[in-house]
Structure 1
Amino acid sequence: MDPGRKLIDPDRVAAAIDGLGDRAVIDEWAQRFSVVADPSRLALLVSIHYAREISVTDLAAVTGMTDTAVSQALRLLRAHGLVTTRRDGRVVRYRLADATVHELIHRVRPHAEQPAKDEQDR
């Protein structure tokens, strides 16, 4: 910050500087948000979140993407530490690896409310 700059509210400026913290962390989160900002990748993350673990083939069926497109997107999501894998025989299943992304999905797409008891009986 320029020491000669006139401030309107120095206490708020100090609070903002403290909250901003390390610029490298801001840059890291900006990169994560740019990865998540793509609608196809976001759809994959939301699908993985609700399935808990899911294969490429099943993700392709859910999202309407090709297996190749899903694999390429998952490679990027994995490189950024947003998803991880678990091998189950010949099947590789993907799951969320980032707790913050898990929380963001809850804010963006909260769990659907359970239907009322009388609606379940219909």
Structure 2
Amino acid sequence: MHLVPESRAHRRAIDEHTVCEAIEGIGDAARVNEWAARFSLLGEPNRLSVLLAVHRAGPIAVSDLSLATGISDTSVSQILRLLRASGTVTADKDGRVVRYRLTDPGMAALLDSSLPPEPAA
């Protein structure tokens, strides 16, 4: 059981090989925390709606996100502030308009894998 941390080495395993594979599957604790943070962003319907809209249509302005999602401008701005702080989206100034785009490739892949396919034209 070469991958079992010393703090757990005293515990008995039924299948040592399977335990090591499970530890490899979990990977680094920092990576697990990073993914847990991504999933927490998806756990609230309004945040998820904003993320999906930015992912599909970005770069997009707050007022356009508000119109598309049915969420108030103020709430969209608060959601975007959180998404910017997490490094998920970036704001680009276009004259007086600020447009948001998805910048986290992990989140983009996650959204791509969970979105239904686009309807055929």
Is the pair's TM-score, using the shorter chain for normalization, greater than 0.5? yes
Q: Does residue 65 of structure 1 match 2:71?
A: yes
- Where 1:85 maps in the other structure, the secondary structure is strand
Q: Which residue number corresponds to residue 11 of structure 2?
A: 5
Distance in 2, Cα, partners of 1:105 & 1:28: 16
Q: Which residue of 2 aligns with 1:42?
A: 48
Equivalent position to 2:24, from 4, 11, 18? 18
**1:90-110 Cα deviation digits (max 9, x unpaired):** 000000011111111111114
| TM-score of the two chains, using structure 1 as the length reference | 0.87
Computed over aligned residues only, the root mean square deviation of the Cα atoms, in angstroms, reads 1.3
The answer to whether the aligner puts 1:96 opposite 2:102 as a matched pair is: yes
For these two proteins, the number of residue pairs brought into alignment is: 115
Structure 1 letter corresponding to 2:12: K
Q: Give, in whole Å, the separation in 1 of the partners of 2:26 and 2:17.
A: 14
Partner in structure 2 of residue 118 of structure 1: none
Which stretches in structure 2 are left out of the alignment for 5+ residues? none
Q: In structure 2, the residue corresponding to 1:74 is in which secondary structure? A: helix
Partner of 2:36: 30
The Cα shift of 1:15 comes to 1.2
Q: Which runs of 4+ in 1 moved over 4 A?
A: none
Moved more, 56-65 or 101-110: 101-110
Find the aligned partners of 1:84 and 1:70 in 2 and give their Cα distance. Answer: 14
Counterpart CA distance in 2 for 1:113 and 1:65 is: 24
Q: Normalised by the size of structure 2, how large is the TM-score?
A: 0.87
Identity %: 47
Greater CA drift, 19-28 or 77-86: 19-28
59-68 vs 31-40, greater mean Cα deviation: 31-40
Q: Which segment drifts farther, 77-86 or 29-38?
A: 29-38
